[in-house]
Amino acid sequence: MGGIPFTSRACAACKKRKIKCDLEKPECSSCVKRGGTPCPGYHDRDFIHHKFEPRRVRNAETKRPGPQRVRQLESLALPACFNMSAEARTQLFATYMHTFFASNPSLNGRVDSWYLLMARFPTLTGKSDLLDRSVIGLVSVYLGKKTRDGRLAHHGFEIYNSALHAMLQILQGNRPPTATTLYSAIVFQTYEGATAMLKQHDYTRGDQALIDAILRRHKWATAMFTLNTPYSMQVDEECLNLGRKESPVDELFGIIAEAIALRRDLCKLIGKPHDDREHACHALLQRCFNLEARVHVDWLHMSAHRLDGIPTPCSRRNLGQEPSMLPLDPNLAPYNFESLEAAKIYLLFWVASLVIRRVIYQTETHLMRGPDPSRMVFYAREICRSVAYLMQLENRMSSGQILILGLSQASKCYIDCGDKAEFEWCQAIYPFIAASGFGIASLMSQMEWKFWNAAQSQPRGSLLLLPEAVHVSSI
């Protein structure tokens, strides 16, 4: 056979076997003749093999694994055209963990549920072909895009699609969901969007810490979906109320569920004659004021004390590594927090308060009262003051989801008020989030610019545009 033996130009299989390679593409003849083992191609992989084993501490937290302790993943049966050995999958997963999550020794599963789910994956590998495919598919797509390795990304899509097909068979067979099925669903949700499968699960079974992390991540996705799409009128936000009394953050998700119901009732009033909607608007306002009082009395006084301190204004120089992350007002100090967990919960508190205030503002606008937007703007600014802390390199990957949720609500507030400077400041943050791998940030920015342009084109004195109740295709 012609060619040069095991040189840098030979395919990976020929180099490993130390035989001559004819350099044919996409597969060399030597590999084709062998059969059973596909030609791995000619692209070198820059990934480093590690040994991985997550460390367990009290309260079922999963601490960051050291790169020298990565456990070998089990073999995964895949079609021959894109088969991956256990070693290749191990190095891909290890590289993903140390690429996606910034070096932060304090990061743990209690702070970042996605980290908990990914760090636990090696302990579950081999137990579910569906779970293995969903995770390795997502990992391959992410690393392929990040390293501009089109072949790896393509193989990742193929593995991911095979996982979707396996999930379809489970759903069509009406088989009861297992913990690994729900684990896979949360991976699909991360890549695709929200899912309602968690409602079918009995949360008393299996590893409670793992189930809690899955549920918590599903709540974030549900809140994001219902607060930012016109389909919120049809979405059942029941999962936001699950385990409502268990923690301060779960209580806030329950409050957001109530605020979503208020906003849904407001959307139903749009288009009704003024006389017909006046009484309904007054009743809606009273419900909003009651919920707002509960947030600031019950939650702030009874749940906030369980957090690690309160937001603390700090010098702009302390968080000024990227000046564009600082509040637009030079006299407004950014917030520092005792922990990332506290920062995320307080941001969710401001989101809940802002959603309620926007319903009040919009309802009063429909009553032609000329409402004061100052309270609404206050919560939007509180969100903006937390951006610099959450966008620090050690926090960014664990904060992307909550940042998008917070910025999307602040942007809608500035759309309501017509404050273009603050709106543009929010839009300038999205590219930084998108650069970290959260592609939905770019789509969110595009939608919000459409909402802004539609709001600005309305005749003066017309009814306020409700972005959540308007299909993007219509603006």
> Do residues 217 and 185 lie in contact, with contact meaning Cβ atoms separated by under 8 Å?
no
- Give the confidence band of 74 by pLDDT, cuts at 50, 70, 90: very low
- The whole-number pLDDT of residue 208 equals 61
Rounded alpha-carbon distances, angstroms, from residue 270 to 139, 235, 266, 280, 438: 44, 19, 7, 11, 34
Q: Pick the more confident residue, 383 or 220.
A: 383
pTM: predicted TM-score of the whole model, two decimal places? 0.61
Q: Above 50 in pLDDT, residue 65?
A: no
Amino acid letter, 106:
S
Q: Pick the more confident residue, 355 or 470.
A: 355
- The whole-number pLDDT of residue 366 equals 80
pLDDT over 70, % of the chain: 68
Helix (H) or strand (E) holding 163: helix 150-172
Neighbouring CB atoms inside 10 A of 459's CB total: 5
Q: Above 90 in pLDDT, residue 45?
A: no
**∠ CA 438-439-445, rounded to 5°:** 105
- The whole-number pLDDT of residue 340 equals 84
- The predicted model gives 101-115 an average pLDDT of 57
Lowest mean pLDDT: which of 49-58, 271-280, 422-431?
49-58
How far apart CA 193 and CA 408 sit, in angstroms, is 16
Q: What is the pLDDT of residues 179-232, one digit of tens each?
A: 777 777 777 766 654 333 333 344 444 456 656 666 777 787 778 777 877 665
Q: Pick the more confident residue, 462 or 161.
A: 161
